[in-house]
Chain A
Amino acid sequence: MIRHLAGKVGGALVSLLFVVALGFLLFRVIPGDPVVAMTRGRPVTGDQLAELRARLGVDKPLDEQFVDYLTAALRGDFGTSYVYSRPVLELIGERLWPTVLLTGTSTVLAVVIGLWLGIRGAWRRGSRSDRVSTGLALAQWAMPTFWLGMLLSLATGDLFPSGGMRYPDTPPDFLSQAVDVAHHMVLPCLTMIAVVYAQYLLVMRSSLLEEMHADYLTTARAKGLRDDLVRRRHAVPNALLPTVTLVFLHLGLVVSGAITVETVFSWPGLGLLTYEALTGPDLPLLQGTFVVLAGAVITMNVFADLLYRVLDPRVRAS
């Protein structure tokens, strides 16, 4: 067990190192001079541009820049954002929690709803409720996120705020703040859930369908178990593996947020920060977000690997 764990974690660390190196190389391919982009539309002289280049270190040869970046990154320092003049990790940290709050909440809810509907659908496949729920889920899955978001916002009138995470004039005590944030979260959360739960539903439904005619279910029934116990304790656990993979893949992506939902509802999250960094290009910020986002996916994959062993004895044996 320990060896298996060490192997997985070691592999993840190697991947992460690779990501850190790739983070540098990848973004040098983007065309554009960050210094020109930074000073566009402002009165600057050629000398000031040269000074700025020197200060940012972009006038050095590429290999020297790479060594600088790598040594700093290994110390956990991703430099200072060109645009915000603040440490990259601080900027990311600032946006991390709103993103995790929004995408985390909606992912958990979407998973619960999706799995529940998927199990029900498979168990009574072909029934009217199965057809309706699968069809509805697919229709929502096909909707453009921004369109659904705007539609919800229009349809609910002034019941919910049109954007942001809180009003500036909410009293600072915890309860008022929490209620205000929850109020602001309703629409973005609904939008995200509506669009993504279909995939959990479908994967759960199809993997459960594969188990439906297995002999062990007949055995269980022969033992006299109630139908929903057969489902819950025999069929579902065996059908859960593909779904767990999917769920953890998505948990890894939770950090990257959802650019469209964040944009439509002006949610102060990480998704848009990445996009903004790309338009600069704000190189340190890009590298930082890239490593953090990739890191989250890698970590979640390790968790998924470990969880398989808990969920399914067959994985342990192999």
Chain B
Amino acid sequence: MGIRRFGAVTAAMTLVVLLAPTPAQAQQAVTLRVAITQQVDSLNPFLSVFQAGTEVGRLMYDYLTAYDVKDQRPVEGLADQWESSEDRLTWTFHVPEGKKWSDGQPITAEDVAFTYDLMMRDETAATANGSFTADFESVTATDDRTLVIKTKQPQATMLALDVPIVPAHVWSKVADIGEYRNDQTPVVGSGPFILTEYRANEFIRFKANKDYWRGAPKYDELTFTYYKTADAAVQALTKGEVDLVNRMGPAQFDSLKDKDGITRNQAQGRRFNEIVINSGAATRTGEPIGDGHPALKDVVVRRAIAKSLDLDAIIAKVNGGYAQRGTGPIPPVFGDYHLKPEPAHPYDPAAANAELDRAGYARGADGIRVSPQGRRMELRLLGHASRAYDEQTGEFVKRSLADLGIVVDVQIVSDNQLNEAGTAGTFDLQFSGWGTNPDPDFILSLHTCGQRPNADGKGGTTDTFFCDAEYDALYAQQRAEFDPAKRRELVLKMQQRFYDQVPAVVLGYDNALEAYRSDKFASFPVQPDPGGVIMAQNGVWGYYGATPVASAGSDTGSNTGLVLGVVGGALVVLVGGAWLIGRRRGLRAEDRE
């Protein structure tokens, strides 16, 4: 190719590119663009466990019942009415007429029965949500509208079955649930959005389900774009490439203060951070395991540790103020179940010191206390290398306990190492944390005797190794209690017991930090209202109820950069090509030695 022809082709290509309609001009539809920083592990709702994955599941599939946007109580999902028998073992749900799958087929009780039944029959289908159907005796659709579920024992979570219901007419043809990816777009679903495109690790695209039974969403498209860091997501928000971001750190959240066109949402979160105290790790049969410091079996020491920690200072310094002070495992966002301890142990290092003195933990010559059994009070505190929180709070704890005459060795290790040490009981203190659900059963169950590992050290889900007869009795009672007020009382009592015995110190409840482009979207429903979150709700009200501003036409995505990039690229090719060709000519002329 001659240099002139080459140049002409490049120039022509550049021209075509520049004249081609850019995406912003081609699109008239209103799109809500959401940044996600977590991977979608699977589109198959039977397999997906990551938060981002289950969120996609909730957008596509309704559950049997839903959680109210205001106060999270059970409201109509696929079923609009329900009742239970006297003995709480039989539940009857009514699936009303008129709700349709996105392919037009009616939604029936058969679909629900099919979904639950599949999870009971097929181990793989139980991967993600198996715990909800583990106690089911049978599930039958007595007719198209009526679903009857019989359970082996009374189950408090019958109106909180977080299981996406799938269409039987599609999924009955699936041979192997484990192999099925559910990415044949458009994916047939029942939710307010229909999945239309999926690019792994890049983005997910939905279109609004205009026939959704609650009514069509107020905009046309919803996209989830994947960013690997919260920094990148925040930058995309400021540049106007996305409209909604969550999971921000305090510094990122602060950086968006007073930015034009951006509104921040500091919401109550569902997570808590805690320091677990090894109060005597043992197996289910009571066989001691691990090498925790023996003095930690003494509740006086554990209480002294709790009293020596200034939780407010930790929140101010480490959380940037974006957290609430910790008490029990259930955060204030689930107001009814959140513990306001009575009596409380307030921050009081002097009292903590005095109590340790009284209990016979005398200070040695170097100021370090020695237990009555003669062991120096030296404790290991394990933290996650993946979490800056652990490292910063660790230093704080170290200093607080030093004032108490206790030496703390902060060890920041990989998550795996920490899990390993946690299961084996080879720690003294350790950072931990959990997300919680509207129903408190699971988070409370973690600290019952039965959750300790079996003789091989396997099969446990506890991290505190707490085993307390009073706590266990209360747990059993609340499980069988169906009167909300009475159950609430029991749940609070359990937490008070946990708080008094201090198998762990709950440090605080992180706020969920979110922000959105208020120049494009006027409002989002939060859950609970007020003070709640837009993303990661129990439900998808935040996306479903988003209201675009009246003239949401202007797309802020810039084309100048695109043009510059293309021109620059073409220039490089042009100059490079010319140089190469010129060189070859020169060679031919002067190639004779």
Whether chain B is bound by chain A comes out as: yes
Interface string of A93-135 (1 = CB under 8 A from B): 0110000000000000000000000000000000000000000
Interface string of A158-187 (1 = CB under 8 A from B): 111111111111110001100110110010
Contacts of A262 in B (CB 8 A): 228
* Extra pairs beyond A43-B131, A169-B31, A268-B202 (7, CB < 8 Å): A44-B461, A159-B560, A164-B202, A164-B225, A167-B225, A169-B23, A268-B201
B87 sits at the interface (CB 8 A):
no
Summed over the interface, the residue pairs from A and B with CB atoms below 8 Å come to a total of 180
Knowing A166-B202, A266-B227 touch, does A229 contact B590 (C-beta < 8 A)? yes
B263 sits at the interface (CB 8 A):
no
Knowing A169-B31, A264-B229, A266-B229 touch, does A175 contact B17 (C-beta < 8 A)? yes
**Smallest beta-carbon distance B458→chain A, Å:** 7
For A91, give the chain B residue with the smallest CB separation.
B200
- Are the C-beta atoms of B566 and A158 separated by less than 8 Å? no
Contacts of A312 in B (CB 8 A): none
Complex Cα gap A266–B229 (Å): 7
Complex Cα gap A30–B442 (Å): 30
Interface residues of B (CB under 8 A from A): 16-17, 20-21, 23, 26-27, 31, 33, 39, 41-42, 44, 47, 49, 123-124, 126-127, 130-131, 134, 178, 181, 197, 199-203, 205, 221, 223, 225-229, 231-232, 235-236, 239-241, 386, 414-417, 419-420, 423, 434-435, 442, 445, 451, 453-454, 458-461, 556-558, 560-562, 564-566, 568-569, 590, 593
Q: Specify the main secondary structure of chain B where it touches its partner.
A: mixed
Complex Cα gap A195–B593 (Å): 40
Complex Cα gap A47–B130 (Å): 11
Please give the number of chain A residues whose Cβ is less than 8 angstroms from any Cβ of chain B in the complex. 70
**Smallest beta-carbon distance B226→chain A, Å:** 7
- Are the C-beta atoms of A32 and B417 separated by less than 8 Å? yes
For A50, give the chain B residue with the smallest CB separation.
B459
Contacts of B23 in A (CB 8 A): 167, 169-171, 176, 180
- Are the C-beta atoms of A94 and B460 separated by less than 8 Å? no
Contact among A84, A158, A175, A226 with B561 in the assembled complex (CB-CB below 8 Å)? A158
Complex Cα gap A21–B439 (Å): 47
Knowing A31-B414, A33-B419, A156-B561 touch, does A45 contact B202 (C-beta < 8 A)? no
A213 sits at the interface (CB 8 A):
no
Complex Cα gap A162–B558 (Å): 12
For B568, give the chain A residue with the smallest CB separation.
A186
By Cβ-Cβ distance, the 6 closest A-B pairs, closest first, are A32-B416, A159-B561, A46-B459, A268-B201, A168-B223, A43-B442
- Are the C-beta atoms of A40 and B419 separated by less than 8 Å? yes
Name 10 A/B residue pairs within 8 A (Cβ), A-sorted: A37-B415, A41-B434, A94-B201, A158-B240, A159-B565, A161-B561, A162-B227, A164-B225, A167-B225, A186-B565
Contacts of A36 in B (CB 8 A): 419, 423
- Are the C-beta atoms of A48 and B131 separated by less than 8 Å? yes
A55 sits at the interface (CB 8 A):
yes
A265 sits at the interface (CB 8 A):
yes
**Smallest beta-carbon distance B160→chain A, Å:** 11
Contacts of B27 in A (CB 8 A): 169
For A86, give the chain B residue with the smallest CB separation.
B181
**Smallest beta-carbon distance A169→chain B, Å:** 5
Contacts of B241 in A (CB 8 A): 161-162, 167
A223 sits at the interface (CB 8 A):
yes
Complex Cα gap A268–B39 (Å): 11
